[in-house]
A and B are shown apart, each in its own frame.
Chain A
Amino acid sequence: MTGTYLGMPAFPEAAREAVRDEVLRANLRHATHTIRDKRARSVAELADWDRLRAAGKAVKDHTLRHLDRYLLQLEEAVTAAGGTVHWAADADEANRIVTDLVRATGEREVVKVKSMATQEIGLNEALEAAGIAAYETDLAELIVQLGHDRPSHILVPAIHRNRAEIRDIFRTEMGSWGRPAPEPLGDDPRELAEAARLHLREKFLRARVAVSGANFMVAETGTMVVLESEGNGRMCLTLPETLISVVGIEKVVPTFRDLEIFLQTLPRSSTAERMNPYTTMWTGLGPSRGADGDGPAAFHLVLLDNGRTDTLADETGRQALRCIRCSACLNVCPVYERAGGHAYGSVYPGPIGAILSPQLRGTGTEIDASLPYASTLCGACYEVCPVAIDIPEVLVHLRERVAQGGPVTRGGVRVTLRPADGRTAERATMRAARLLLDHPGALRAGERLLARARRLAPRRLPGAGRAWTDSRELPTVPAESFRDWWARERGDTQ
């Protein structure tokens, strides 16, 4: 999907690295616990939370059922308001469209407001290859970009970095991108935010092209909606002459009224605030058609498929498309808290990433095949999800697909997947277990043998069992089997 994540080790290896990093674990633990506690208080303020959640789920399900109709309605409304709509079947096509649009303006740089969709398609790398510099303007994205790093959280992408690390990144890297960090630079968040303000303002005031995503698109009116906190979104969406928005097709909602649900559930689920500091809504070029300098004079909307229609074809998995990218599921996940976002090898980390990435990209790679297993299935992610995605249900469904194969849709074509490599040992073990359990005599003999040989039991299993004992202790073998104990102690009652 994107070059950034190529060569990522599968989840278990990546997670093992992360779990050993104590600074990372402390940063993550502090962050996830703070957000999750605040979120619970914020949600408790709304007595109708369950009803808002049910309504949000229903709006998304209804939209997905009639997605063709709503996308066509959206296209018509955006076009009528002076915008131009493009359709991109995959990452390459989307990158090509955006690159051509930027080239047509004659500009060699763009400012970007944080967007999961453009990260997903690796737009920055594609623009760079075309000689166009893409500047991330969200503070956390700036930290990630300057640190030659990858985002590790949907909402707070630099959550894995502490203030001292950020100061060092600003000091050494800002100068090579534009205005250097002020000297001396301390590690107080206020000072660091001020350094980012000065560095980026220079870019905002001269930028002529901006690239964004969107949280919602309204089919009825053609309205685009972006929620943010810092004002970098407003800067990108307002000042440049050309605005290009790359948005996944699942982000459409039918009516302007539907926003009343998500504007209540999204901020509280993500930042735990009643409302995020800034929300920008725009419809094409607006009533002035951009003529009085209020907003861009050209607006392009790139509608992105890139695996979404394949996901839609999966009856169990399609609910992942309801996701509004709030990141509440990350903050409650015991696995995310310890492993961190990078271990998921995708722009979508945490529980939602574990079901979204293997569906958008397929389960062909080792990392994607490992993601459905990156969970304890504790169900906390489902509990907090504001659109009620049953993540554990989809995880189990995807595990079944990885282990057993079966029919899936890839690139719009129905194909039958073969069981993933490396699962053959597991299946052989299960077959052996069934054989043993079906023959009580053999089981009894085996247990006695094991009890007698218990001092010789290895700490790790040989052969196919090694994968299991790599991360687990083998249970100690008792002196006698339960069967023998029962016969000795209670045998007379039989």
Chain B
Amino acid sequence: MSSKDRILGRIRRASANAPDAEIPRDYLQVHGTRTPAERVDLLAAHLAEYRALVHRTDGDGLPALLTRLLAERGARTVLVPPGLPPHWLAAAGPVLVPDRADSTPHELDLVDSVVTGCALAVAETGTIVLDAGPDQGRRRITLIPDHHICVIRVPDQVVDSVPQALPLLDPSRPLTWISGPSATSDIELDRVEGVHGPRTLEVVLVGRE
């Protein structure tokens, strides 16, 4: 008998008399009511609480803001996902490095910064979700460089809660949920940002023009 059959047989004998349970779905879909502007404010506050650096601008101001943020970090090279709107980095000074399928982790490790969009953001938890869409690129480009700038279109890409976020996501795509920069509390529970992911996460909330 294969282990699969053995395990399934044991499960069937063991669970035959187990109680079944209806799953109550009476928990809240949203915690509180907010206007779109309040939702964006809550997202910004929660992101900042987890030590992400939050900036706001509109479409016209975005290229100049990105240029300034990259310059402040001293970025000489910046990774660019294939579908990033070209005008976002039209004013940028650093050398643009396209995300290529054959670039190795060591090559990516030499790049200073990465700029991406996102799939959506969750206000109640201060979370950005990436789904490897064209303006976000592969998972590794937001992981290896030390500085990640993520652009969120507000209020359109912002939902209130986790229950609202999941139905909008496609589980067949690789999903990365990011809530503040990499952090550890393993040493005497002192929170330290930036262990293995980007040490600096900057979020740009871009309003409608």
Interface positions of A (Cβ within 8 A of B): 27, 30-31, 34-35, 45-48, 51-52, 54-55, 57-59, 61-62, 64-68, 71-72, 81, 87-89, 93, 137-140, 143, 156-159, 162-163, 166, 189-190, 192-193, 196-197, 200-201, 204-205, 218, 221, 223, 229-232, 234-235, 238-239, 249, 256-261, 263-264, 271, 273-283, 286-287, 291-295, 303, 305, 309-310, 312-313, 315, 318, 409, 412
Contact = CB atoms under 8 A, between A and B. Distances in A.
A305 B188 CA distance: 35
Given A30-B188, A64-B18, A256-B171, A230 B197 contact: yes
Interface stretch (B57-65, B70-78, B138-146): B138-146
Contacts of B196: 137, 197, 200-201, 204, 230-232, 234-235
A230 B178 contact: no
Interface of B: 2-4, 6-15, 17-28, 31, 46, 50, 101-103, 105-106, 109, 122, 124-127, 132, 138-140, 143-144, 162-163, 166-167, 171-190, 192, 194-198
Contact of B24 (A54, A64, A65): A54
Given A231-B195, A275-B126, A313-B14, A283 B171 contact: yes
A204 B17 CA distance: 47
Given A277-B182, A294-B174, A412-B9, A315 B17 contact: yes
A293 to B, nearest CB: 5
A166 B187 contact: yes
Contacts, number: 260
26 contacts: A46-B28, A55-B25, A58-B23, A62-B21, A64-B15, A72-B8, A87-B2, A139-B187, A157-B186, A159-B189, A163-B188, A189-B187, A193-B192, A197-B194, A205-B106, A231-B182, A231-B198, A238-B143, A239-B143, A275-B126, A277-B182, A278-B182, A280-B176, A287-B173, A294-B139, A303-B7
B107 to A, nearest CB: 10
B109 to A, nearest CB: 6
A54 B105 CA distance: 44
B37 to A, nearest CB: 21
Contacts of B188: 27, 30-31, 162-163, 189
Given A51-B27, A55-B27, A277-B178, A87 B187 contact: no
